[in-house]
C-alpha cells in the first residue's frame, strides 16, 4: 500500500515539474523567480526532513519528500530535453 502511494507522489512531483517549467516560462520574465521559489521550497523541505532522526515514522513527510524528488527529477528531464 505504501509503495503505491510513494510511486504516486513521485509521479505527482514529476507532473508538478512539468507545470513549473512550462507555465512561468511562457513570458520569459519569470525564470529567475520560479527557479528561486523551487530552490527555496527544496531547501525548506530538506531542513525539515533531515533535521529529525526519527523521520521514518511520519508518512506525510515521506510523501512530501517523494514529491520533492519527483520535482527535481522532472526538472532534470526537462533540462536534458532542452539540451538535445
Q: How do residues 21-37 score in pLDDT, each as one tens digit? A: 777 666 666 777 777 88
Contact in structure between 80 and 21 (CB atoms under 8 Å): no
Residue 54 lies in domain: 2-83
Measure the N-to-C terminal CA separation of the chain; round to a whole number of Å: 38
Q: How many domains does the chain have?
A: 1
Question: d(Cα 41, Cα 36) in Å, to the nearest integer?
Answer: 9
pLDDT (tens, 9 = 90+) of the chain, 84 residues, equals 678 888 999 999 999 888 887 776 666 667 777 778 888 888 888 887 788 767 666 788 788 888 888 988 988 888 888 776
Give 61's Cβ-side CA count (13 Å radius).
15
Amino acid at each position: 500500500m505504501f509503495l503505491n502511494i510513494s510511486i504516486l507522489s513521485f509521479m505527482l512531483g514529476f507532473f508538478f515539474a512539468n507545470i513549473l517549467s512550462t507555465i512561468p516560462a511562457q513570458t520569459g520574465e519569470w525564470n529567475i523567480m520560479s527557479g528561486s521559489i523551487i530552490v527555496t521550497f527544496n531547501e525548506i523541505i530538506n531542513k525539515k526532513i533531515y533535521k529529525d532522526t526519527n523521520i521514518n515514522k511520519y508518512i506525510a513527510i515521506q510523501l512530501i519528500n517523494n514529491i520533492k524528488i519527483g520535482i527535481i527529477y522532472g526538472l532534470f528531464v526537462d533540462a536534458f530535453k532542452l539540451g538535445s
